[in-house]
Structure formats: C-alpha cells, structure tokens
Structure 1
Amino acid sequence: MQKQYPYLRVLTWLTVFGSYLMLIHGSIVTITESGQGCGNSWPVCKGQLIPEDVSIETVIEYSHRIVSGAVGFLILLLAVWCWISFWKNSKIRWLAFWSLFFVVLQGALGALTVVFQGDFERNAALALHFGFSLVSLASVILLNIELRQMLKGENKTRFPISRNFRLFLWIYVLYTYAVVYTGALVRHAEATMACGYHVPLCGPQLLPSLANPAGIQMLHRYAAVSLWLIMLVLLLLILVKYPDRKQLKKTSWTAFIFITLQAVSGVIIVLSGGQLLAALLHTTVISIFFTIILYMATQKNWS
C-alpha cells in the first residue's frame, strides 16, 4: 500500500485513529454526564453555532459532535475511494459500506438521544449508539487489514474451515454485541456502582430485580462471564479441531487474552469506584476483542 497508494495508507490510518477517538470521546461524554451539555439543540449547541454560555459539559459534548462529524467525513472519503478503486473486490466493497452505514446510523441515533425525554428510551438509545460506533470502528479496522493484505499481494497457503464452525463464530459475534449492549446499558443507567464494591456478586442476592440498577449490573456480569466461558470453549475447539492452522490458533489465543483482560478491567472499574481511566480501559479492551472475533468470523480460509 505504501508504494501504490501512499495517500490511501495515510487515510486508512487516520480513519482508524479517528474512529477509536470518536468511540472513546463518546464514552467520556457518558461517564462525565455531559450528554445534555448542549441542551436539546442539534447539530448546533444551545441554539448557537458558537455557544456563549460554555461549561465543561458543553465543551465535552460539542467537541464530541465535531470529532464525530470529522470522522464521518473521513469514513465517507475512504468508502468512496475504495468503491472507485476496488469495486470488484466484494469484501472491501462491503466493509466500506458497513463502515459508512454504521457511522451514519450512530450519528443519527446520537441526534435522537438529544431530544429523548424518557429515561428508559434515552438509555436504550444511548446503548445502541455505543454499539453502532463499535461496529463502525471494527469495520474500519478490518477494511484497513483487507486493503493491506490485498495490496501487499500476500499469497499464503490457506485452508477452509467448516461452514458450521463459521456459523458458530457469527453467532458468537452477535452474542458479544448483545453483551456489549448490556455493558453500555450499565453505564447509561448509572448502574456502575449499583453493587458497591462487591465482586463478583452483588451482596447476598444472586440476581436482583432488573427494575433497579443492581439487577442491570448483575445481568451484565453474568453475561460477561458466559462470554468468557464460550471463548474458552471456542479456543479449545480450535486447538483440537484445527491443530495445524497456526494463524487461526494465534488469533484465538489473542482473543482469549483480551476477553480475560476485559474481565480484569471490569473488576478494576468496580474496585476503583468507576474511575474514568478504568472505564476507558474497559472500552478499549472490548473494542479490540470485538474486532478480533469479527475478523475471525469474516475469514473463510486460514493458514
């Protein structure tokens, strides 16, 4: 990519970095409760292009909108470039489409959250908003990987994996997204410290009512534990069924390490009292893990 498309290489890396920044910036908006920093105005802030009454919440929310708009433009530019130059490559064509589709969708949903008044509707929409940003980031990263592999002309000998195994991977991707949604719901429902400093349970109750924050917190914990267990089973299956696929085994081990780190970072959030840096670490790790398993699901052949 360096020799044939030097500017495309720069654009892809800028887009990856920008997409990650947008995701992290959105988490900061939530954690600092700055979502209403611009009132009910969108896309301007407090009815003005440059608001006169500026608070720290206003700066955080408005800067997030500006960053999101800039990243959206970068993704649009990247998608159009890919469609023009590599239209015959269906994988690149669709990855470009999904990158653009989900960044537009999360932007539209972000605008809707500004006008939502009900807590439940707003929390649900904000959780989806994070999920769409995550899918857009993962799609941009996979697009970057696919472009680099194609332009480098990598011709490693690869062998197909079974159709049922790929189906299992896609189901796991969807389940991971659902678990991510429960985590985003914890954050937006302000349930991060609903169980105090208790880990792994929530005091004497195994499953508090979902009508209160403690129930939402425990739902996410149970879902996260099941996600780790399924990844462990998936890793063991790969080691047994595909012992000669070095790349597949390496990728699976990487995914298992990151889902373990995700669990550790979740514990750190609770023990630190929901500190900002701990929450951003949690967001970063799950973003990497989701991208890895999405990559696994999209690969038909492995070396």
Structure 2
Amino acid sequence: MVTGRFRALALASCIGMLFVLLAGALVTNTGSGRGCGDDWPLCNGKFIPAYTMETAIEFSHRLITGFEGLLVVAAFIAIYLLFRKNNADYKEPLIYASGALLFTVIQALMGAAAVKWYQSDAVMAIHFGISLIAFAFTLLLVVWSYRTKNGKPVEFTVPRAIYPRMLAVTIFCYIVVYLGAFIRHTESAGGCLGWPLCNGEVVPELQGATAAVFIHRLGALIFGLALVGLYIHVRKISGKGKGLTKSAGWALVLVIAQILSGALLTETIGNDDWFLFTNLLHNLIITGLFGILCDMLIRSWRLREGRENA
C-alpha cells in the first residue's frame, strides 16, 4: 500500500515538472535565454544576480529546475527503497521514477549546453520535448500512486488492436509538439496569419516560416482526426465508461481545446501580452494531453489481451 506522504511527494514532483516546462516556455517566448549570460550554474558570474527582467525569468527557471531536481531524486529514492523490499509490486513505479530522473538530468544538461555553447533552433526545440517526457514520467508516477492507494487496482483487459494504434498516435503527437517548439524557437508564428486559412489560402506558398506553420497546422489536424478515430475505436470495443474510454474521451476534449488554443494563438500574434498568455495556455494543454496519451499507451500494453502468454 502506498502512503499518503509518498503520493504527496509524487504529486509535488509532477506539479514542479509542469512549472519547469512552463518556465522554460516563458524563457523562450520572452527571449530570456541569455538572461544569465554565458554562465552556468552561476548567473552572470553571481549566485544571486543583479535584477533585470530577462535575468529574473532565466534565473527563476534555473531555481525551479534545481528544486524540481531535488523532488525527483527524493521520489526515486523513496520508490527504490520500496522496490528493494518488494520487487514485483514496485517495478512499475521504479521505471517511472527512473525515467523522470533520467530525463530531468538530460533536460538540465541540455539547458547548460545551450548557455555555454551555441545550439541550433532545431536542437533547442528538442529541449521542450525532453521536458515533456520528464513530465509524463512524473504524471505516470502520480497516477500509479493513486490507483494503488488501497492496494492493487482491479484490472481490465484491453484488446490487442489498441496498443499499436496508441503507439502511433503518441509518436505522432510528439512530432507535432516538436514542430510547434521549432516554430517558437525560430519565431515563425507569424508565418500563417488568420485561421483556419493560412494567409487567406487553403494551401499557401510553402516557403520559410509559412511552410513551418502550415505543416504544423496540418499535423495538428491529422492528430485531431486520429484522436477522434481512437475514441470511436476504444468506445466501440470497450463500451461506454469502460476500459480506456474515459481517458480517450479526455484526450479528445483536450485535443479540441488545443486546436482552439492554436486559433487563439494566431489571433493574438499582434498583442505581445496576450500572445505570451496564449502561448503558455497552448503549452499547458498539450502537456496534459501528452500525459494522458502516455498513460493510455502504457495501459494498452500492460493490460493487452494474451499478455499472460507473451
């Protein structure tokens, strides 16, 4: 049985990782990546730097990341100690805690490398994706801790056809997210003005920023249709309110919200304050959606039909 203290720790690490992810997006959207100069882990050569807006944003991001690192390490140690006593019951959460720790370290090293040495926009876009994976692992740990709150949960069987579909949808989601991060780092958001048309055209001239934004929009449309199909498939196989149906329903709601937030993002391009807010909202929604998809992916594999004979 999982203690309330551990659930609180897991939840804190998950919320902390969300703040790290949003703080990183804020650094990118405000152009504050050089707010601490070329120094790391110090900021402009100081432990507590002189105040400027860019420095405050970048330094706050570093502080949040450092505190989150401590939470992730604490969660890993707590699970590892439980795993040593009971390998069978704590193998799954150990994988989640280990993944969170690994990708938190990778994320921090990528951040340090970006400060010390020049990184291309294509490489920097991966930074958000690494943070997204780290968040997903912390979320999976939270979900596991609540599902096992009163002992082993009642498990159900997932048809084998769901897993390959979930794998494809999750990978495609990550690709679409990467394209969005690339657009932010290259400041290409203005490549498509207007929504749903791009510069007043169904298919615009595919050059430069316009090509990047249009491909991202097309990917988001395909992704949305894929989630509609996934929801119909899961509900048809499992029935209303059974198996993965509820999670698929939430994923469908969030992808619709994500598409609408993308439209709002386009409409606020000319207003710096609102554009910053809509950017963070866009990031927040996709973070939650990716976390749900990862949970569905894990469960569709673990609970697939015939797994006992695999």
TM-score (norm 1): 0.91
The equivalent residue for 2:56 is 59
Contact conserved, 1:24 with 1:283, CA < 8 A, in 2?
Answer: yes
Choose which of 249, 264, 269 in structure 2 pairs with 1:268. Answer: 264
Count of aligned positions: 294
Contact conserved, 2:165 with 2:230, CA < 8 A, in 1?
Answer: no
The offset of 1:146, in angstroms, is 0.6
The equivalent residue for 2:307 is none
Q: More displaced, 14-23 or 271-280?
A: 271-280
Amino acid at match of 2:75: L
Give 3-state SS (helix, strand or coil) of 2:37's partner: coil
Contact conserved, 1:208 with 1:218, CA < 8 A, in 2?
Answer: no
The equivalent residue for 1:72 is 69
The offset of 1:97, in angstroms, is 0.9
The offset of 1:199, in angstroms, is 3.1
What does residue range 158-197 of structure 1 map to in structure 2 within 5 Å? 158-162=156-160, 164-197=161-194
The offset of 1:86, in angstroms, is 2.9
Q: Runs of 4 or more off by more than 6 Å in structure 1?
A: none
Aligned pair in 2 of structure 1 residues 7, 241: CA closer, same or farther (>3 Å)? closer
Contact conserved, 1:207 with 1:219, CA < 8 A, in 2?
Answer: no
Amino acid at match of 2:4: P
The equivalent residue for 1:255 is 251
Aligned pair in 2 of structure 1 residues 116, 150: CA closer, same or farther (>3 Å)? same
The offset of 1:301, in angstroms, is 2.7
Q: More displaced, 85-94 or 279-288?
A: 85-94
Amino acid at match of 1:284: L
In 2: Cα distance, 1:35 partner to 1:134 partner: 19
1:290 paired with 2:290, answer yes
1:219 paired with 2:219, answer no
Q: Percent identity?
A: 28
In 2: Cα distance, 1:102 partner to 1:160 partner: 29
Aligned pair in 2 of structure 1 residues 238, 160: CA closer, same or farther (>3 Å)? closer
Aligned pair in 2 of structure 1 residues 208, 101: CA closer, same or farther (>3 Å)? farther
1:101 paired with 2:110, answer no
Q: More displaced, 41-50 or 66-75?
A: 41-50
Contact conserved, 1:79 with 1:96, CA < 8 A, in 2?
Answer: yes
Choose which of 297, 300, 303 in structure 2 pairs with 1:301. Answer: 303
Structure 1 residue ranges without an equivalent (≥5): none
The equivalent residue for 2:28 is 30
In 1: Cα distance, 2:275 partner to 2:21 partner: 17
Give 3-state SS (helix, strand or coil) of 1:126's partner: helix
Contact conserved, 1:265 with 1:278, CA < 8 A, in 2?
Answer: yes
Aligned pair in 2 of structure 1 residues 198, 6: CA closer, same or farther (>3 Å)? closer
The offset of 1:110, in angstroms, is 1.1
The offset of 1:154, in angstroms, is 4.6
Amino acid at match of 2:284: T
In 1: Cα distance, 2:241 partner to 2:257 partner: 24
Amino acid at match of 2:61: H
Contact conserved, 1:116 with 1:122, CA < 8 A, in 2?
Answer: no
Choose which of 230, 233, 242 in structure 2 pairs with 1:234. Answer: 230
The equivalent residue for 1:5 is 3
Deviations 1:260-292 (A, max 9, x none): 100000000111126111111111110111011
Aligned pair in 2 of structure 1 residues 63, 155: CA closer, same or farther (>3 Å)? closer
The offset of 1:106, in angstroms, is 0.9
1:112 paired with 2:108, answer no
Contact conserved, 1:109 with 1:125, CA < 8 A, in 2?
Answer: no
Aligned pair in 2 of structure 1 residues 69, 253: CA closer, same or farther (>3 Å)? same
Structure 2 residue ranges without an equivalent (≥5): 305-310
TM-score (norm 2): 0.89
Amino acid at match of 1:266: G
Amino acid at match of 2:159: I
In 2: Cα distance, 1:218 partner to 1:115 partner: 33
In 2: Cα distance, 1:292 partner to 1:224 partner: 17
The equivalent residue for 1:129 is 127
Contact conserved, 1:194 with 1:213, CA < 8 A, in 2?
Answer: yes
Give 3-state SS (helix, strand or coil) of 2:134's partner: helix
Amino acid at match of 1:109: M
Give 3-state SS (helix, strand or coil) of 1:78's partner: helix
Deviations 1:40-75 (A, max 9, x none): 1111111222224x3100110011011101101110
